[in-house]
Each structure stands twice: as C-alpha cells, then as structure tokens.
Amino acid sequence: MTSISITTPTPKTPAVDAAGRLGIPLAARADQLVGSVIDSSTSLLAAQTHDIVRFAMGSPADEAIPVDEFNDIAGRMNAGTLGYGATEGEPVLIDQLVQYLGTTAAPTAAERVTITAGGMQGLDLACKLFINPGDLVIVESPTYTNGSATALSYGAELIEAPMDDDGLIVEALPELVEKAGRTPKAIYVIPNFQNPSGTTLSLARRELLLELSTKWNAVIIDDDPYGLLRFEGEDLPGFQQLSPNNPLLFSVRTFSKILAPGLRVGWVEADPSMRQLVIHAKQAMDTCTNVPAQQLIAEYIRRGKLDDHLGSLKGVYRERKAAMLTSIERHLGNRVTTTDPDGGFFLWVTLQGEDAKVSTSELFKTALAAGVAFIPGPALSAGGKFDDALRVCFASSTPERIDVGVQRLTHALDAARDG
Ligand code: PMP
C-alpha cells in the first residue's frame, strides 16, 4: 500500500458509450459515473444458483440483524409514521441517537445531526456541498470506491495517497499537494478499520490531518461506518472529538453496519452553520429519509437494545476475524500477507511470491465458480491498482463457513497459478 499518483478523470464508460451511440443528450457529468463493482456484486451473487461463501459484500451477518424486535416494532406503525417527515430527520430518532452517542466515545449534539438515507447519501451531500468540477480530492489508496466515485460524479480530480498499517500516511500529503501544484478541496478518509484495508488511522496522524485541513482550508470527509464496532484495543478520539466545532469537518455515519443495511438510514454530523445547507441539499434529493425505517430504529434504541446488540456483534466479529486469520494461515500460509484489524468487517489480503503474478480480477471468476466471492483489489482503488490484492469480509460468515471459503479460495488460487 505505498504507491503515489494523481488520477485524472476516467475515460468514457461502456454505459456512456452505449447511450452516446443512440444520440441521447447526456449531461457532461454522466461521463464521470464509474459504477460500483462492490454494489454490482449483490445482483451478481443473487443470480448464482450454486453454493457461494460470501466474503464480497460488507454486510452484517444475517443472524446479527434483530429481526424479531424489528417485526414487533413494525407492527405498531400508524398514519403518522407513514407520512412525510422532517427533512433533518425524525426528532425522536435524533433525540435517541444523540442520547445513545452520549454514552460512547463519540458524543454529539442534536443541532449537528441530519438523518440521511444511509452513509452513501451522506457522501453525496458532502460532495454536492463542497466539490466543484476540477477540485482536487485526496483519497486513500486503496479506498471505498463508492466514496471516490461520488466525488468523481461531481467532477473531482482525485489524488491517491498511500497507506500503511497506521492508515493514511498523512505525512506524505504535503509532497503530493506540492506536486499537484494546488491545494485539495477535500480529503476523504475512513479513520477506523478502513474499508477495504482494515487499518486504523493513528492519533498522531489524526492530529496532523486536522492541521493540514486548516492550513489548506480543505474539508475532511470523515467516513466512519465501523467506529462503533471496535472489538480489540482502545477507542481513539474521532476528528469531531479532537476538534470540536470545526466547520471543516463533515462526518458521515450509518446504521447499515450496526443494525441493518436495507433500512437505508444514516446520519451526518457537521457544524450547525452547515445544517440549513445540508437540509436544502437533501430537499433537492429526497425530501426526507424513509420515516418508518427511522421510527423502527428510534424505538429500538428507546427500548435500550442497541448497547447489548453492539456488545454481542463485537463478540461475534472478534471471533470471526480470528477464524479468518487462522484459516488463511492454515490454508495459504506465507503465500499471502494480511492486515489484522481491531474492528469492523474487512481484512486485506496481498498475494506474495509466485502467487502475486495472479490477477485477482481474473481470480474472482475462478473463485466464484469454485464457490467463494471476494472483491478484487482494483475495484477498491481509484486508479485501478492492487491487482495482487483482495478484500474479504469476515463479518457475514460463521467460522465453519469461513474455513470452507478460504479452502475454496486456495483451490482457485492453485488453479490460477498453475493454469
Ligand atoms: N462508507 C463506507 C466506508 C462503507 O463501507 C459503506 C458501506 N459499505 C458506506 C460508506 C455506505 O454505507 P450505507 O450502506 O449506509 O450507504
């Protein structure tokens, strides 16, 4: 995870070519829509009829979703909970959320919070509010490419910045910026158990990033879906805690990883001076976030269930990460190196030696046929790098299934290397 480069806007996608050939008068920004291999894997996997161990999507375990409690609450919906809601979010949800976060290492205040349609809408709001075409945005390499794709869709030019075991190498940014010849408008960072690498940004680097953001007047898009899922070690203070009332911080959060991704509810935290703008931007998108889904979550928190739920998730994911590392060690040994995350869902696997010649984009197809799915490295890099690496999600499979999946991956790798 050490390469440095500046990524120019992407070439036309096949989708744009297809529409263009029909003479459809597309907006220029359609050229900047790159699509998501991660999201497309949901439909791809749904279309398969054979048994597949699913290391691809970053989904919570099915058994980790509190289905019975949700069904009980859903039975109590009424006309009020099925009408339009406030754009900023249901007051009851904001209230419950703020109360709950007050018991964690990341407290906030109601006037800083706007409820969104998942983390993705938070990222879209950030880019809609801050990014002009041609603006530079620093992204991690590798990164959550749905986030970098959102910046591209607003015309950003991306600078990929290297990472190591302590997350984004913030010390490398001034040189990158000097090379680029202009300062960035935003820095997109996933500080805890990063998607896809699993690494956590060190405290010293968090502090340095805050300094650089002030120096450059650049927004930190602080995307942290996994922060409440630390299962090893001590919480580190977040950007909002290190720098309270900093208008250059735009924090994106979601219930997708801690409750259920299909609810599509998240939130953003920003300086109160930004709130009206966030609301106006959201009004131009979807009026309000799904009201029954917000009521469901609010009532779940009000019943005092969230803390126990998170406690049990952490236990399950701690065990599954260990199982994944053990299976990889047993079946792949020194043919790969991996990261060792303290929380979240993912670890990053890099092929070594002769195996490193295998393209993980190609391996994906053999592995899928062999009954295991992962995300190839290039799909998690703004510049299409890391064809010798892949992301696996340990959260959604039991230890037994993880072992089956890693065995299948090993067979697929054997076949790719020898074939
Ligand atoms: N950011 C990161 C880093 C993520 O991993 C995800 C989900 N995979 C999101 C944002 C989007 O979250 P949501 O599903 O709530 O839109």
Q: What is the dihedral of CA 171, 173, 178, 180, to 10 degrees?
A: 160
**Which atom from ligand 1 is nearest to the alpha carbon of 265?**
15
More confident residue, 85 or 419: 85
pTM to 2 decimals?
Answer: 0.96
- CB-side exposure of 166: number of CA atoms within 13 Å? 10
- Residues near 105 by Cβ (< 8 Å), separated by ≥ 6? 235, 237, 238, 241
**Which atom from ligand 1 is nearest to the alpha carbon of 255?**
15
Two structure tokens written together for 137:
């945005």
**Which atom from ligand 1 is nearest to the alpha carbon of 120?**
16
Q: Which value does ipTM take for this structure?
A: 0.99
Determine the distance separating the centroid of ligand 1 and the alpha carbon of 29, expressed in angstroms. Answer: 23
pLDDT of 264-307, one tens digit each? Answer: 999 999 999 999 999 999 999 999 999 999 999 999 999 999 99
Two structure tokens written together for 399:
């230890």
Determine the distance separating the centroid of ligand 1 and the alpha carbon of 266, expressed in angstroms. Answer: 9
Determine the distance separating the centroid of ligand 1 and the alpha carbon of 3, expressed in angstroms. Answer: 24
**Which atom from ligand 1 is nearest to the alpha carbon of 266?**
15
- For the chain, percent of residues with pLDDT exceeding 90: 86
Mean pLDDT, rounded, for 130-139: 98
Determine the distance separating the centroid of ligand 1 and the alpha carbon of 43, expressed in angstroms. Answer: 17
pLDDT of 321-347, one tens digit each? Answer: 999 999 999 999 999 999 999 999 999
Determine the distance separating the centroid of ligand 1 and the alpha carbon of 375, expressed in angstroms. Answer: 15
Contact call for residues 265 and 246 (beta carbons, < 8 A):
no
Banded pLDDT at 6 (limits 50, 70, 90): low
> Looking at residue 239, what is its pLDDT?
98
Mean pLDDT, rounded, for 390-412: 98
Identify the residues whose C-beta falls under 6 Å from ligand 1: 58, 118-120, 144, 147, 190, 195, 223, 225, 254, 256, 261, 266
Banded pLDDT at 2 (limits 50, 70, 90): very low
- Most informative mutation of 140, 197, 256, 392 for ligand 1 (most atoms within 8 A of CB): 256
Q: Which residue has the tokens 């929380």?
A: 343
Two structure tokens written together for 373:
């799915």
> Looking at residue 3, what is its pLDDT?
43
d(CA 365, CA 170): 35
> Looking at residue 4, what is its pLDDT?
46
pLDDT of 207-227, one tens digit each? Answer: 999 999 999 999 999 999 999
Mean pLDDT, rounded, for 308-312: 97
pLDDT of 20-52, one tens digit each? Answer: 888 899 998 898 898 888 888 888 888 888 999
Determine the distance separating the centroid of ligand 1 and the alpha carbon of 123, expressed in angstroms. Answer: 9
